[in-house]
Amino acid sequence: MIDFPLIAVVLAAGKGTRFKSEKPKVVHQILGKPMLWYTIFAVRWIKPQKTVIVVGHKKDEVINAVNCDGCEFVYQQEQLGTGHAVYTAKDYFKDFDGYVLIINGDTPLVRGETLHNAGEYLKALIRYEGADLTNYRGYRNKSIAGVVLTARVPNPYGYGRVIKDKDHRVIKIVEEKDATNQEKQINEVNSGIYFFYAPYLTQALEKLENKNAQQEYYLTDVIEILRQEEKYVYALEIPDYTEILGVNDRLQLAGVENILKERYITFWALNGTTFHNPQSIWIEFDVDLSRDVEIHQNVVLQGKTSIDEGTVIEPNCIIKNSKIGKNVKILANSYIEDSEIQDNAVIGPFARIRGGSVIKEEAVIGNFVEVKNSVIGRKTNARHLSYLGDAEVGEEVNIGAGTITCNYDGFKKHKTVIKDRAFIGSDTMLVAPITIGEEAITGSGSVITKDVPDKALAIERNQQKIIENYAEKRKKKYEKN
Ligand code: UD1
Ligand code: CA
């Protein structure tokens, strides 16, 4: 965490023309969260005193999407360039005796640690210059204006090129469209992440001009302006260039999403999770995995999902916002959302567990069984082709194949209660609201509309008739015609 006065400014007002989208660029999602969320997360990780977000194009959509508690938003009505965007936020830092962290909102892969390290680097520079770190007021006359994060990228196309002197002080940053052929050869690029001493930044912003290929007010020009006054911005090259990748079109969005996914998989793999064919696996930020979890290909883990020790997830399962216990088996092609699966349960193959369900220990939910908003008790089996909705099912119950809780009467949903050790015959229709008592039995194919007492049998179907020799009679009838 940064231990000097710091205000963060995140630039997110641009339209993102290259996205060719109705939606503002920064709300496009990466692994289930808006792109801008990741940048804000990294910024807040170092705990600046304030986080100010510059919004403009479709600002309300951006504000809603990031849903950031404690962030402040300023409105840049016309997007005249990154320098203009920062200028729009100047009221937050013009009288501030500290630093301003500026970061582009389209750089989602930067790590909080990297921002922290840049802050430490800045402190070291100041110390080297002999400033009194405990008293930032003593710093005003010093020559250090800040730090810009840079990286060497395999393909620098589209980025501002960093031109430095031999002391790692930046001479200027040249945008792609303004660069000479020689400058275009430089592969050290501007990340769009800077720390500036606030009073210097404030002065320099006043002097920005838009005499360039794009007729924009470039924030990067601040560096050259300050240098003319012998105030220097140092380049800090960060080793992992992927952290600074900017997202300007949908291909870059996909590329960044893959890198992020790979980071999460690396983290969990080193923590003791086995991934089979990891490239095919989708895993989001809030997912939490324990040791000896085994995940097969094409598994999608979304939202706040946690999976406990020894659990195996077979191919093609989707799990959203769910808590999965220890030694659970989720067999292929199952879909689980907003639910809890307790230890040693078996789900699937081809099972669907919908919101609000709890599948208790050792229960088995088999093929083509749909469970919605229901509690399924310990060691209860529903192995084939059933719908259990708004049900409270006790322990060691057997739900026969084809059983359906008829929970909806066309107006309202009603509850089904099945008590411990009941035996529900195959193809029972349980017309809710209804209660089936402990150890009660229902006959196969029955439509049960009244409560069944404990240990009773409820059967609702016609007596079976036997007509001897019917096959012969039927044949004769056809021969006559
Ligand atoms: C910018 C840098 C470039 C750097 C690159 C890193 C400038 C002039 N160039 O270029 O040196 O290598 O980022 O990714 O700064 N924005 C506003 N208001 C505006 C214009 C932009 O808020 O008026 C926001 C955008 O929403 C975006 C960010 O600023 O999040 C960067 O703008 P963008 O147009 O993408 O800049 P680049 O051309 O990528
Ligand atoms: Ca950009």
- The whole-number pLDDT of residue 130 equals 57
Residue with tokens 């920064």: 26
- The whole-number pLDDT of residue 70 equals 93
Residue closest to 431 by CA, chosen among 403, 400, 455: 403
Give the closest ligand to the alpha carbon of residue 159.
Answer: 1
Per-residue three-class SS string for the chain:
CCCCCEEEEEEECCCCHHHCCCCCHHHCEECCEEHHHHHHHHHHHCCCCEEEEEECCCHHHHHHHHCCCCEEEEECCCCCCHHHHHHHCHHHCCCCCCEEEEEECCCCCCCHHHHHHHHHHHHHHHHHCCCCCCCHHHHCCCCEEEEEEEEECCCCCCCCEEEECCCCEEEEEECHHHCCHHHHCCCEEEEEEEEEEHHHHHHHHHCCCCCCCCCCCCCCHHHHHHHHCCCEEEEEECCCHHHHCCCCCHHHHHHHHHHHHHHHHHHHHHCCCEECCHHHCEECCCCEECCCCEECCCCEEECCCEECCCCEECCCCEEECCEECCCCEECCCCEEECCEECCCCEECCCCEECCCCEECCCCEEEECCEEECCEECCCCEEEECCEEECEEECCCCEECCCCEEECECCCCECCEEECCCCEECCCCEEECCEEECCCCEECCCCEECCCECCCCEECCCCCCCCCCCHHHHHHHHHHHC
Tally of CB atoms within 10 A around 206: 10
Active site residue 84: no
- The whole-number pLDDT of residue 167 equals 86
- The whole-number pLDDT of residue 137 equals 47
- The whole-number pLDDT of residue 80 equals 97
Ligand 1 mean position to 223 CA, how many Å?
Answer: 15
pLDDT-derived band of residue 143, with 50, 70 and 90 as boundaries? confident
Ligand 1 mean position to 121 CA, how many Å?
Answer: 24
- The whole-number pLDDT of residue 125 equals 86
Give the closest ligand to the alpha carbon of residue 192.
Answer: 1
pLDDT-derived band of residue 138, with 50, 70 and 90 as boundaries? very low
Overall average pLDDT of the 382-404 stretch: 98
Ligand 1 pocket mutation pick from 82, 191, 218, 222 by most atoms within 8 angstroms of CB: 82
156 pLDDT more than 60: yes
Given the residues 116, 168, 276, 384, select the one marked as catalytic.
384
303 pLDDT more than 90: yes
- Residues with CB under 5 Å of ion ligand 2 are 106, 246, 248
Atom of ligand 1 nearest to the CA of 81: 23
- The whole-number pLDDT of residue 37 equals 98
429 pLDDT more than 90: yes
12 pLDDT more than 70: yes
The pLDDT > 70 percentage for the chain reads 97
Instruction: Measure the CA–CA gap between 461 and 424, rounded to whole angstroms.
Output: 15
- The whole-number pLDDT of residue 2 equals 87
Ligand 1 mean position to 83 CA, how many Å?
Answer: 9
| pLDDT tens by residue, 235-292 | 999 999 999 999 999 999 999 999 999 999 999 999 999 999 999 999 999 999 999 9
Overall average pLDDT of the 43-66 stretch: 97
Instruction: Measure the CA–CA gap between 108 and 37, rounded to whole angstroms.
Output: 8
132 pLDDT more than 60: no
- The whole-number pLDDT of residue 129 equals 64
pLDDT-derived band of residue 478, with 50, 70 and 90 as boundaries? confident
pTM of the model: 0.93
- Whole-number average pLDDT of the chain: 95
**What distances in angstroms separate CA 322 from CA 114, 270, 376, 378, one per listed residue?**
32, 23, 16, 18
pLDDT-derived band of residue 323, with 50, 70 and 90 as boundaries? very high
Amino acid at 54: V
pLDDT-derived band of residue 140, with 50, 70 and 90 as boundaries? very low
Overall average pLDDT of the 384-408 stretch: 98
